Amino acid sequence: MQHADYFDVLLKDTVNLSQFKLDLLSTRVDAIYKALKADEQIGSLVLDKLPQGSWAHRTIISPVGTNEFDADFMLVMEENPDWSHSPKTYIEEVYAALHRNSVYKDMPHSRKCRCVRLAYANSMHVDIVPYLSLSDGRQVIVNRDEDKWEQTDPEGFTTWMHEKDTMTGGNLRRVIRLLKYLRDHKNSFTGTRSIILTTLLGEQVTSVRKLLDPGYYSNVPTALLHIVKDLDTWLQARPTKPSIADPSGSGATFDHRWDQTTYSYFRDRVHAHASEIEAAYLETDKDASVKKWQAIFGDGFKAPVSSSNSNKFAAPAATAATIAGRSGRAG
C-alpha cells in the first residue's frame, strides 16, 4: 500500500530540514556575503552569491542526531589577472578576508579543496565556493589541491534539476531527500556524494515514462517506487563504475567523486532497497505494509494526527496550501 499521508509525516517531522534552520542559513549567508563584499582587499572582486547544491535544489535534509548540517553557496567573483597563474589564490584570499573580519576571525574556518568552510558551533557549516566566469568564456570553480580551474555550470544544473522536479510534480526532490535520509540516518550506500545521488535519480525521470503512464510520478511513494526501480535497472546493467556526466552540459564529470568500491556498494544497496520498496508498496494488508515501510525508514513513518485531534489548530485551507508551497519542511 502507498500510505502517501504517512510519507507526508515522515518528510515533515523527520527528514526535512526545519524552516527555522533554512531561514537561519539564509540569514547567515547574507551576513557572510556582506562581510566579504565590504572587505578592503577583495570586496571589489565580489559580485554576487548563488545558493548551491542541496540548498539550491531543495534537497537538504535534517542532520543525524546533534550533527551540524551543511550548505554551499557560490561566491561570484570577478577575475583578477594578477592571480591567473594560481587559481587557488581565490580560496586563499577569501580565507584571509574571513580572518581579517572582526566577526569571523575567531570562528573556525578552513580551506578545503574547492571552498572555504566556516563553522558555527553546534549548528551548521557553510562552504563558500569561489566561482568565476573567465575572460575565455569558461565558468569555473577552484581545485585548490591541484591549483587549477574546474569547469562547472551551477545555474545550469539547478535549471536541469528544476525541470526534472517539475516533471514529477515536485516529487523528485522528495525522493532525493528520502534516499539521502537512508544514506545518512540508516547508513545505506555510505560514501555516495549528494551530487551523484541527485544526478542519477534525476536522470531516471523522463517525459516518455510520464507520457506512457500519467500517474508514474503521481505521489511520493509512487515516484519513489518507480524512480528507484528504474535506477536499479540502470545500475544492474553496469557492474563497472560508469562515467557520470554533469547534466548541465558543462563538459565535466563527477567520476572523481567515487571509486569502484563505493559504486559497487551503492549498486547493491539500491538493488536491495528497490526490492524492499516494491514489497511495501504492493503489500495489500495495511498493517503489514506499514511495518515493511517502517523497516526501511524507521519509526518516523507513521500516520498523521487524526483530524478530530487537530482541527482546532489547523490553518485555513488556502493558508495551508500556501505554506506547503514555500516551506522547506512541507515541500
3-state DSSP assignment of residue 69:
strand
Cell 551551477 belongs to residue: 154
- Look at the alpha carbons of 187, 197, 51, 150 in this order and tell me if their dihedral is positive or negative: positive
- Look at the alpha carbons of 146, 149, 153, 158 in this order and tell me if their dihedral is positive or negative: positive
Domains of the chain plus CATH, in order, are 19-152 (3.30.460.90), 156-300 (no CATH)
Average pLDDT of 290-319? 72
- What is the pLDDT at residue 331? 62
Given a cut of 80, is residue 324 above it in pLDDT? no
Average pLDDT of 148-174? 96
Determine the Cα–Cα distance for residues 125 and 119; give it in Å rounded to an integer: 4
The confidence band for 210, taking pLDDT boundaries of 50, 70 and 90, is: very high
Higher pLDDT, 327 or 124: 124
Share of the chain above pLDDT 90, in %: 89
CA 209 and chain centroid, separation: 24
Distances (CA, A) of 146 to 87, 112, 149, 150: 9, 12, 9, 10
CA 280 and chain centroid, separation: 26
- What is the pLDDT at residue 311? 44
Neighbour-count burial of 19, counting CB atoms closer than 10 A to its CB (0-12 exposed, 13-18 middle, 19+ buried): middle
How many C-beta atoms lie closer than 10 Å to residue 262's C-beta? Answer: 17
